[in-house]
Structure 1
């Protein structure tokens, strides 16, 4: 899995986990992607740094360097929207 894909998957499940703090599956999935980011991609930190009208800014540190990746806001929130629109998970 590429770093960009791993960051995007982490971001999507982070949004879900933050919105649904009692969702154990979301928390387990978040832990899984955090493990991928730290072990497979050697990131030492990663966080949502900012959000604007169209993008979410993810800041991370790799190899001692701080970097930023931008992700489309709507795409980033799509997983949460899909979960919330399904009565099975409401």
Structure 2
């Protein structure tokens, strides 16, 4: 998984979600806008992060292993048991 590029800065973040409150639009295929990166920060538990293009890749995120979402790349998330996380947007 790639790291956030140098020079991008956080400008927004979501609420903190749990396994029960993950919005449906995060559970199914979606993408960020051009120029927008995201960092998935897991506070507790584990989250499955699936990148859907150019090929399918799957990562298990945890408090020690955040996820990085590249601009315009289709992806989705899935709770692995109890989890608490938020998404931070960068540009």
* Higher normalized helix content (fraction of residues): 1
TM-score, normalised to structure 1, is: 0.27
TM-score, normalised to structure 2, is: 0.27
* Higher normalized strand content (fraction of residues): 2
The structure that has the greater radius of gyration is: 1
Higher-RCO chain (CA-CA 8 Å, sequence separation at least 6)? 2
